[in-house]
Amino acid sequence: MINIPSHIRGLIFDLDGTLADTMPIHVQAWAEAGKLYGLTITGDMILPMAGMPTVAVVPELNKTFDWNLDPVEFRHHKNEAYYRIKADLGKVRPISHIVKIAESYKDNLPMAVGTGSSHENAIVSLNDLGITHWFKGVVGADDIQNPKPAPDTFLKCADMIKVHPRNCLVFEDGPMGIEAAKAAGMQVIDIRVM
């Protein structure tokens, strides 16, 4: 188990790839949505932008590959694919060692979830995991104006749990989320190296 530094007064968790093992589903949904446009979209193309919402990733892909995808339309197709794949798999699986950390601190430190997913999708995943009640708040990409890598998601989480950003510790798996946590003045643990 991890030792939380004594100055930390609140914990913030990313969701996809941190608490919930949903990144393979997202990658597959990106690929399926891309096929509708005759495009090949791979994990290598989108994982460096993990943490950003679909509508922010699509313009980056458009720039990089000289595509002309409509972000809102693409998000619709990607979300349809995501829910179809997820329904086939059943409930979302936890990333056990991170969920265990959250469980061990849920009664001692206020906690929030800050995600690049929509608020609604986040609640569905947390309900699948049975841990929604552990968190004082959930901030989705549609709850703020500037998503990750901007600090807004995590700053709003800090506000929800009433903890100064410098006293928050963020658990993240995505480069954009790590950048966002640092921009918010928070400590961050890259769960990929735990």
CA dist 17 and 174 (Å) reads: 8
Give the pair of three-digit tokens for residue 162: 């009433």
Q: Are 114 and 53 in contact (CB under 8 A)?
A: no
Q: Are 112 and 12 in contact (CB under 8 A)?
A: yes
DSSP 3-state assignment of 27? Answer: helix
CA dist 158 and 152 (Å) reads: 10
Q: How many other C-beta atoms can be found within 10 angstroms of the C-beta atom of residue 6?
A: 6
Helix, strand, coil tally for the chain in percent (to 5): 55, 10, 35
CA dist 42 and 126 (Å) reads: 26
Catalytically annotated residues = 14
Tokens 């989320």 found at: 177
DSSP 3-state assignment of 170? Answer: strand
CA dist 82 and 77 (Å) reads: 9
